[in-house]
Structure 1
Amino acid sequence: MARLRNYFLTGFIVCAPLAITAWITWSFMQWTDSWVKPYIPTQFLPDSYLPFAIPGFGLIVALMIITMIGFLTANFIGRTIVKWGETVLGRMPLVRTVYTALKQIFETVLADRSSSFKTAGLMEYPRKGVWAIVLIATTAKGEVAKVLSDQGEEMLAVFMPPTPNPTSGFLMFVPKEDVRILKMSIEQALKLVVSSGLVTGDEKTAPMTQAEAERVIEEHERREAAE
C-alpha cells in the first residue's frame, strides 16, 4: 500500500505542473482570441474557410501587431508619435498617474539584464544571527546616496522577497559590508525562496523530519538557557 501511495505521489508531482501549465496556456490563448478575433475582418479569419477553429490565431495576430508597433516606435516618426501621445496623457491627472506607474513597472520587469537583478546575497534580518535571501539591485544613487553619505560606507539597494510569493517584498538600503554575496543565480535564489528552502539550485532537499526539528528546538533552548 505504501508503495502504491509513493507511485501516486510521484505521478502527481510529474503530472500536476504539466497539467497546470497546459491549462494556463490554453486559458490565455482563449482569452486573447476572444479579445482579438472580433476585430479581425472575416475574410482574414481561417475559421471562415475551415470547418474548425484554430486556437491561438488571435494570439499570433496580437504578437505580430505588438512587434510591428515596436518596429515603428524604433524609428524617428514612431518616437515622435509616442512622445506626442505621452504628452497628451501627461495632461490628464488620473490617467497620467496610472500610465506612468504602469510604464515604470513594465520597463523594470522587461528591462535589459544589465539593469535588472544580477546578484543574490544574504543579509542578517530580522535580527542578528538570522539570515535572509536578498536580491541586489544597485548601489544607492541620487538623493538617497547623499542622505546616507554620513554612513561612511557604500550603500546597496537590496530587495528582500518573502516566501512563497516573491512578487512583493521590501526595498532596503544597507551597508555593502552587511551583505554576503552568493554565487547562485537569481533564478536559483528565487527557487530557494518559493520552495521555502526545499530547492537549492538544481538540488532538492527533503523536508526536516520530526526528530530533526525537535533536536534543533532543544539546541536552541539550551543556548538560550546558557545565555
Structure 2
Amino acid sequence: MDASTTPPENNPAPKPQKKKIGKNHRFFLRGLAISLPPILTLVIVIWVAGIVNDYIITPTTTTVRYCIAYFTDDSQPRDNFVEMEHLPPLEYCRNNYLINRADVDKVRAIEQETESQILNRKKLSSYAWVPFGDRAVPYLDYREVAKRIRESDMPPTAMGLYMELATTRWFKSLFHLSAVAVALTIVALYFLGRFVTARIGAWMVVKFEQGVLAKLPVVSNVYSSVKQVTDFFFSESTVDYSRVVAIEYPRRGIWSLGFVTGDSMLEMTVTAGEPLVAILVPTSPMPVTGYTMSVPKSEIVDLNITVDQAFQFCLSCGVLVPPQQRVTDELLREELGKRLLGDRKLAGFKVQIAPPIPTTQTSTIANEHTSTEGKPKDSTGTDPEEPTPPPGGSK
C-alpha cells in the first residue's frame, strides 16, 4: 500500500493549556477581592453623605443662622458714628473703630483720666464700634468673632458677622447647630404635611398651582414634571415589587428578569385579548433604570427569588446568583422530576439520568480492530478482501 492510499492519521489537535496563576498574583487577587467591598462601600457612603450635606444640611443650617442673626443684629447705620483721633488701639481692630455721636463726651472724659492705658482700653471697648460697609457693629461682638476666625476670613457685612456669631454664642459648635437645623426642618415638614392634608391646606395648594405656577411659561412645564416624579416616590400608594418574573425579551429564546408593577392599560388588554401585566425590566449594572412593557400573563414565569436577590443579580451582571437558583446536578434533577410529574409540591424526588455513552476515537479504533480479527481467512492465511498477487510476480 503506497502513501497515496494511506488513510490520514486522526490525531486530535492539542488543547491550549491554561496559564497557571502564580502565588504572588493569586495572593494579590485575594487581597483585592477582600479589600474592594469595604472600600467601595465607604466611597458610596461618603458620596451620599456629601450630597446630603450639600443639599440638605448646609441650606438648613444657613437658614437657621440667618434667622438668628436677623433677630440678634445690633448693628447701626454708619452715619451715627464719628472717628476720633488720639485714641489708643484696640485688640483685633487697632485704630479702625468709631464712636457713637452720643458717646463722644464720655470717651473724651476717659481720655482725660490719669489711669493706665489698659484700663482705658477696657472702658473704650464698650463704646467702640467697628465699621462694616454702611453699618457698624459693637466692638465686643466683633472681638468675639475675631478670636475664632482669621482676619482674611472675616465676613464683609454685618449680617455675615452675626451669622458667624450665632454659631459661637448660641451653640457650642457648628455640628450642634446643624443638628438643631435638621431637627427643625423635620418638624416643619411634619406640620406642613398635616396642613396640606387638611381641606383648607389642599385647597390653597391647588389654587396656588393652578393660579400661579400653571400660568408661568417655563416654570409650569418643569413644575409639572417634577411634581409627577415626587408624587411617584412619596405617594402613599407604593409600587408592588414583591413579584420577580422572567420573560422572553428582547426576542424568543432570550430570558430577562423583570419586576411586576401592576396590571396594564385597558385598551392594551382588550386589543391583546388576554390579561396583560406591566413589568419593569431593569438594566445592569444600574437596576434603577429600565424598560416598562406589557406582557401577557401566560408568557411570564414567576421566579423563586426575593427583590433584594434580583437587585443583586442585576448589580453584579449575573455573577451573584441566589443559592436556590444555582444550577447543580441535585437541584436540576429535583426540578426536572417535579415538572415531569406535574407536581410542584413533591420534594425529594430523584430522576435517574443515565450517563452519556462515551464515543471516543480510541473505542472506535478498537471496535474496528476487533471486527477485523473476527473475519474468516482462507487456507493461505490471507485476508479474503486483499487481492492475491499473480504467480511468478510481475515482470
State the TM-score bracket (shorter-chain normalisation). Answer: 0.7 to 0.9
Q: Percent identity of the aligned residues?
A: 19
Residues in 2 aligned to 1:137 and 1:47: alpha-carbon distance in whole angstroms? 52
Q: Which runs of at least 4 in structure 1 moved beyond 6 Å after TM superposition?
A: none
Residue aligning to 1:53:
174
* Other structure's SS at 2:250 match: coil
* Gap regions ≥5 residues in structure 1: 206-227
Letter in 2 for 1:195: S
Whole-angstrom CA distance in 2 between matches of 1:174 and 1:111? 26
Point out the structure with max Rg over C-alpha. Answer: 2
Tell me the alpha carbon deviations over residues 98-157 of structure 1, each in whole angstroms, 9 at most, x when there is no partner.
22221221222234465443322100011211100111111123xxx2254132211111
TM-score, normalization: structure 2? 0.45
Match of 1:39 among 63, 79, 82: 63
In structure 1, what is the equivalent of residue 190 of structure 2?
A: 67
Contact preservation (8 Å) 1:42, 1:48: no
- Conserved in 1, the CA contact under 8 Å of 2:240 and 2:260? no
Identify the structure with the greater helix proportion: 1
Cα drift, residue 189 of structure 1: 1.7
Question: Is residue 268–residue 276 contact of structure 2 (8 Å, CA) maintained in 1?
Answer: no
Of the structure 1 ranges 181-190 and 81-90, higher mean CA displacement relative to structure 2 is found in 181-190
Look up the equivalent residue of 2:68 and give its one-letter code: T
Question: Alignment partner for residue 103 of structure 1, among 227, 237, 243?
Answer: 227
> What root-mean-square deviation, in Å, do the aligned CA atoms of Structure 1 and Structure 2 show?
2.9
Question: Out of 248, 255, 260, which is 1:124 matched to?
Answer: 248
Which amino acid letter does the alignment assign opposite residue 79 of structure 1?
A
Q: Aligned to 1:104, what secondary structure does the other structure show?
A: helix
Q: 1:62 and 1:155, CA in 2 relative to 1: closer, same or farther beyond 3 A?
A: same
User: Aligned pair in 2 of structure 1 residues 94, 29: CA closer, same or farther (>3 Å)?
Assistant: same
- The aligned counterpart of 2:44 is 20
* Paired residues of 1:125 and 1:132 also in contact (CA < 8 A): yes
Give yes or no for contact 1:161–1:168 (8 Å, CA) kept in 2. yes
Cα distance in 1, alignment partners of residues 299 and 186 from structure 2: 45
Distance 1:63 1:46 in 2: 21
User: Does the 8 A contact of 1:46 with 1:54 survive in 2?
Assistant: no
Residue 276 (structure 2) aligns with? 155
Runs of 5+ unmatched residues, structure 2: 1-23, 72-165, 327-395
Pairing 1:135–2:259 present: yes
TM-score by length of 1: 0.74
What letter corresponds to residue 52 of structure 1 in structure 2? S
Paired residue total? 202
Query: Aligned AA for 2:241?
Result: F
For the residue of structure 2 that corresponds to 1:191, the secondary structure is helix
More displaced stretch, 87-96 vs 44-53? 44-53
- Secondary structure at the aligned position of 1:54 is classed as helix
